[in-house]
Amino acid sequence: MHIAQWGFPRPGPKVEPSPVNLVADLTNPMWEGMAPDPRYRCLIPASALGQPDGPKGWMTRTWFTIPDWPVFALAGFCRNVPEWGAVYAAMTGESNALVKPLNDRTPIILAPEEYDLWLTASIRDVIGFQFRLPFPAGRMAMERTDELWVPLGKRSNRPRRKQEGSRLV
């Protein structure tokens, strides 16, 4: 197991450094050299998946677990990059009925018997993982919390426009 930073640096010369931590489109030029090459695949261990829930600015964390798998693996890509060193991101696919009200995409959850295939798969198999049926909702549990998605102390200090009636101020 290796420690790496969550998210690849967003490409582009005039782009503020921000992470790309989910891979939704394998045809994006950012992934074209990595997706077909098994050297850049990894298993991302997880005990839960988090999704924001609620009104913008006050979203809370909602957790999704798999009760019969206290730890599971997500289909991931990893690489050493000059900007940040070792980084990783999770590949996403369609969400199941439990997650979909919060997000229509979710990381691909792998069954233990799929780990070796993910790490050695052809690009055709990788695409198959991304477009397969979602992980069964009936095998997951959901826990809503009062924990803010972005804690107040970590919020950006950038000015925001206030809405007054139907016009922006």
Q: How many independent structural domains does the chain possess?
A: 1
Residue linked to tokens 């921000």: 18
pLDDT of residue 12: 73
What CATH number corresponds to the domain at position 58? 3.90.1680.10
49 domain-assigned: yes
Domain containing 128 equals: 5-139
Report the distance separating Cα 53 and Cα 145, nearest Å.
Answer: 9
Residue 153 phi/psi, 5° resolution? Answer: -70, -15
161 domain-assigned: no
157 domain-assigned: no
40 domain-assigned: yes
42 domain-assigned: yes
Contacts of residue 116, defined as CB under 8 A and 6 or more positions apart, other chains included, come to none
23 domain-assigned: yes
Residue 47 phi/psi, 5° resolution? Answer: -115, -10
| Residue whose C-alpha is closest to residue 2's, from 83, 85, 122, 65 | 85
Residue 62 identity: T
What are the per-10-residue average pLDDT scores of the chain (169 residues)?
88 75 92 93 97 92 97 97 92 98 97 98 96 97 94 60 36
Report the distance separating Cα 25 and Cα 2, nearest Å.
Answer: 25
117 domain-assigned: yes
Q: What does the buried/exposed string (b/e) look like for 71-85 if buried means 16 or more CB atoms within 10 Å of the residue's CB?
A: ebbbbbbbbeeeeee
102 domain-assigned: yes
pLDDT of residue 155: 65
What is the DSSP track for 86-155? EEEEEEEEE--TTTTTT-SEEEPEEPGGGHHHHHH--HHHHHHHHTSPPPPGGG-EEEEEEEESS-GGGS
